Amino acid sequence: MEHIYRPGKDNAPTLILLHGTGGDETDLIPLGTALNPNYNLLSIRGEVNENGMNRYFKRLAEGVYDEEDLEYRGQRLLGFIYEAAEQYQFDLKRTALVGFSNGSNIAINLMLRDKAPFKKALLFAPLYPIDASTSKDMSDVDVLLSMGKNDPIVSIDQSEHVINLFKHQGAQVTEVWVNSHEITQAGLQKGQEILNS
């Protein structure tokens, strides 16, 4: 997979950066640096091309996921992250997923997988309109959900669905409500708090 790996300080944790629709592996590097300039950064480009825009999985329409493709792409992405950890010698148990929009959505798919090692996730403008309840115990997982009160893409009901998805698995959920489909300073600051906890 096309990606950027930027090493941080020795023995630093790693942020796995997942961009929004139409973005690429360079988009969230500034966010990763702002979250913690000492961390390793692994930023991965989505492999699906939708009308010239990069995404992590196919959709059938706006807000309607191709669930079969989502499962396939999620498994493939998780496999790549394992390979990257071996190649770049970073500790998978000390990684955090950082996603925006479509990147947050594939991150949710990764978090719900039984073999996923991730204990922290910072998810900006997430949307997961499928029934994805599992019996996975997430009591040792911290999740930031930054959601828009006036998001033109994600309704408040859909945001609450994502909140409940994690809470039902026992995750520690921090909510940040912003205005729209965006990454804000408030979300960034809460993200830093979670990474430092």
- What pTM was estimated for this model as a whole? 0.97
Candidate list 142, 151, 159, 161, residue with the active-site label: 151
Residue 186 sits in a domain whose CATH number is 3.40.50.1820
According to the model, what pLDDT value does residue 196 have? Answer: 93
Which residue's structure tokens are 């988009």?
A: 27
pLDDT in tens, the chain (197 residues): 999 999 999 999 999 999 999 999 999 999 999 999 999 999 999 999 999 999 999 999 888 999 999 999 999 999 999 999 999 999 999 999 999 999 999 999 999 998 899 999 999 999 999 987 777 899 999 999 999 999 999 999 999 999 999 999 999 999 999 999 999 999 999 999 999 98
Question: Rounded distance, CA 126 to CA 20, Å?
Answer: 10
- Give the alpha-carbon dihedral of 174, 175, 178, 181, to 10 degrees: 90
CA distance 188 to 181: 14
Tell me if residue 140 is catalytic. Answer: no
The CA dihedral of 53, 57, 59, 64, to the nearest 10 degrees, is: -120
Domain total in the chain: 1
Radius of gyration, alpha carbons of the chain: 15
User: What pLDDT, on the 0 to 100 scale, is given for residue 134?
Assistant: 76
Please report the sign of the dihedral spanned by the C-alpha atoms of residue 119, residue 84, residue 57, residue 20: positive
Of 19, 43, 104, 181, the active-site residue reads: 181
pLDDT for res 100: 99
Evaluate whether 145 touches 162 at the Cβ level (below 8 Å).
yes
- Write down the catalytic residue from 19, 43, 101, 161: 101
pLDDT at position 135: 77
Catalytic site includes residue 19: no
Q: Look up residue 8 and give its two tokens.
A: 């941080």
- Could you confirm whether 151 is annotated as catalytic? yes
**What is the domain extent for residue 107?**
3-196
DSSP state letters, 97-142:
EEEETHHHHHHHHHHTSTT----EEEEES----S--------TT-E
